[in-house]
Amino acid sequence: MRLKDLEDRGLYVSGDSACAGCMAANIAINIMRILGKNTIGSVPPSCMSVFGSIFPKLNWDIPYFHMQFSNTASTLTGISRALKVQGKDDIVVMGLAGDGGTGDIGLQDLSAAAQRDENILYICYNNQAYENTGIQASGQTPYASWSNTTPIINGHIGNPNFPKDIPRILMAHDATYVATVSTAYIQDFISKIEKAKNMKGFRYIEALSVCTSGWKIPSQIGPKLVKEAVKTGYWILMECEKGKLTLNKTPEFTGLKEFLLKQGRFIHIKDEEIEVIAKHIKRRWNIYKSLEQANHFDE
C-alpha cells in the first residue's frame, strides 16, 4: 500500500485531547488508517489512554479495551485466544502502549507472549519517559537527558543510564516479527504495519514518538526530529522477520550535536557527553550490523 491508497480518515477519529505536536496521536491515526476495521485495540495507562479514551468519549472506532499498566501483552493474549476458540482468525488484536508500559512494568508479560508466539500485534510508541505522570525517567530515557527524576542539579548530567534496547531483547526471544519505525519514513512505516497486519504470531513494532513537553521542544519540530533521529543513527530502522534481520536505512552518523541541542531536555549537555552518546550509537549500530550478517550463518 502507498500513502495515497490509505483512507483519509482511519478509525482513530479526531477530537482527542493530545497536546499540539504529540506524535503518539499521529502514530495512532496512521496505524488505524492501515489496520482498518477488523481490529480489536487495547491501550494501557499512558498519555494515549488519557487523551484518546476519556469516558464517555472514545476516539477508537473499533472494539477497545483499557487494561492495567502492566498487562498489555496478557490482555492481548486473552483476547486473541478467545477469538481462536470462536474460530475467528481474521481479526488483528493490537495493543498500543508507551515505553514505560512496554519496557519496564509490562516487560514480563511481553516476554512471555513473545516466547509463546501469541498471535498479537504489540505496538510501542516510545516517547522515552513516563510522560503522562509528569515526565519521570523510564528504562527508555536516553543517557544525559533531563527528566523530573533525573534533574540537572548539583553537577548531575541528567539520566546516568542508557536506554534498554527492547527490539534486541525481543529478537533474543526469536520473536516472529520485530520492527522499528519513524513516521518521517512513512512508506517504511506503512509497509511494516501492513506486513504485521497480515502475519500471524507475535509481532512487535516500536515507533519513535516525540513528546513536546518531555523533550521540551516547540510543537512543530517533531516530524523533523524523527527524521534526524534516523540520520544520526540515534534511531535505527530495522525489521527482523522469523530471525532474519534487515537494517532498512544506513545512518549518516552526522548532525548529532545539532539534533540533541534542538531539544530542551539536552540543553545542558557537554561535548564529552555528546561523545559518549555518539560512541553508544556507533556501538549499537555495529551490534545490529553483526546480527544482520549472522543471517547468513544458517545458509
Ligand X SMILES: Cc1ncc(C[n+]2csc(CCOP(=O)(O)OP(=O)(O)O)c2C)c(N)n1
List residues binding ligand X (CB under 6 A).
45-48, 69-70, 98-101, 127, 129-133, 138
Tell me the C-alpha to C-alpha distance, in Å, between residue 108 and each of 102, 112, 150, 169, 270.
9, 6, 25, 12, 36
CB-wise, 104 or 292, nearer to ligand X? 104
Span interacting with Mg ion, options 86-94, 119-127, 240-248, 278-286, rule CB under 5 A: 119-127
Residues 207, 180: contact at Cβ < 8 Å? yes
Nearest residue to ligand X, scored by beta-carbon proximity: 98
Q: With contacts defined by CB under 5 A, how many residues of the chain interact with Mg ion?
A: 4
Minimum CB–partner distance for residue 247 and Mg ion (Å):
25
Nearest residue to Mg ion, scored by beta-carbon proximity: 98
- Which of 99, 118, 206, 228 is the binder for Mg ion (CB under 5 A)? 99
Minimum CB–partner distance for residue 42 and ligand X (Å):
13
Residues 141, 127: contact at Cβ < 8 Å? no
Minimum CB–partner distance for residue 214 and ligand X (Å):
7
Minimum CB–partner distance for residue 36 and ligand X (Å):
24
Please give the residues from 120 up to 159 whose contact with Mg ion meets the rule CB under 5 A: 127, 131
**Residue 106 engages Mg ion in binding (rule: CB under 5 A):** no
Enclosing H/E stretch for 34? helix 23-35
CB-wise, 148 or 220, nearer to ligand X? 148
Cell of 136: 519521570
Cell of 1: 500500500
Helix intervals (H) in 220-266: 222-232, 256-261
State the chain's maximal CA–CA distance in angstroms: 61
CB-wise, 98 or 251, nearer to Mg ion? 98
CB-wise, 99 or 228, nearer to ligand X? 99
CB-wise, 137 or 144, nearer to ligand X? 137
* Angle (CA) 200 250 126, round 5°: 55
Residues 223, 32: contact at Cβ < 8 Å? no
Q: Tell how strand 238-241 and strand 244-247 pair up.
A: antiparallel
CB-wise, 70 or 74, nearer to ligand X? 70
Concatenating the DSSP letter of every residue in 131-160 gives TTTT-B--TTPPTT--BTTB---TT--S--
30 binds, among ligand X, Mg ion, none (CB under 5 to 8 A by kind): none
Minimum CB–partner distance for residue 145 and Mg ion (Å):
12
Chain residues that interact with Mg ion, rule: CB under 5 A = 98-99, 127, 131
